[in-house]
Structure 1
Amino acid sequence: MEDLKIRRKCEEMIAYGYVALRQFPKFERHVLAAEIRGSMWGVLRLIVVCNKRYHKKTTMQDLDAELDLLRSQVRTAFALQYIDLKKYETWSRHIDEIGRMIGGWFKSLSRGAAGDA
């Protein structure tokens, strides 16, 4: 059930991200904004793939890395003043919540593997 919840949260984050990306300057919409969109969809893709795989560890690590990249891109957008403080805080909360869910998912996998041994 957790995997469905994380997917829904990721979709909410993508919807919010698209709203925030509309405020980017025109010359950045095809550069940093496109990279951020790609990272958001990459996170969702990895969540779906990880849910379908039997061995999830490497996919979970890829998911964690992609989320960290997204976090850095959003931080850069804020530093360059492409998004305001309120949008940055809200978007970061979405990303952090997904990160906590990934951590919990990873821990539950670790406990399951230890219980099997």
Structure 2
Amino acid sequence: MIAYGNVCLRQFPKTERYVMAARIRGDMYDLLELIVAANKHYYKKTTLQEIDTKLEALRSLLRVAVREDMKYLPPDKWANWAEMLNEIGRMLGGWFKSLTQ
């Protein structure tokens, strides 16, 4: 997801590369960092909730980037990226479920 995201972020207008694109890029790396931390922690539930929050924030930023009045991100690239985020969400849901059993 990070490799694909970085390719997509290069297409953002120069004015947004250092604002919105930087925020999205930072959120992607924060998400990766939280996943690594959750894998190492004994009490994972709070970290998994943080991952879920960060994932939802990333989805929201991408929705703003693809909006009709913004058009920073083409709809087809957004769809691919959104599917990757959905897959991460499904894995996260499975991880939550495994903790409760």
Normalised by the length of structure 2, the TM-score is: 0.97
User: Residue 73 of structure 2 aligns to a residue in which SS?
Assistant: coil
Residue 74 of structure 2 is aligned to residue 84 of structure 1: yes
Q: Distance in 2 between matches of 1:32 and 1:49?
A: 25
Equivalence for 1:10: none
Equivalence for 2:21: 33
Residue by residue over 1:82-107, the C-alpha shift from the partner in whole angstroms, topping out at 9 and shown as x without a partner, is 01111000000000000000000010
Query: Which has more radius of gyration?
Result: 1
One-letter amino acid matched to 1:98 = I
Structure 2: segments with no counterpart, 5+ residues? none
One-letter amino acid matched to 1:87 = K
Equivalence for 1:99: 89
Equivalence for 2:59: 71
Q: Distance in 1 between matches of 2:75 and 2:66?
A: 7
Identity %: 56
Equivalence for 2:46: 58
Q: Distance in 2 between matches of 1:57 and 1:71?
A: 21
Q: Distance in 2 between matches of 1:21 and 1:37?
A: 8
One-letter amino acid matched to 1:107 = K
- Structure 1 segments (4+ residues) deviating >2 Å: none
Q: Distance in 2 between matches of 1:110 and 1:37?
A: 32
Question: Larger RCO: Structure 1 or Structure 2 (Cα < 8 Å, ≥ 6 residues apart)?
Answer: 1
When the two chains are superposed, the root-mean-square deviation of aligned CA atoms in Å is 0.5
Aligned residue pairs total 99
Residue 77 of structure 1 and its aligned partner are, at CA, apart by 0.5
Residue 44 of structure 1 and its aligned partner are, at CA, apart by 0.3
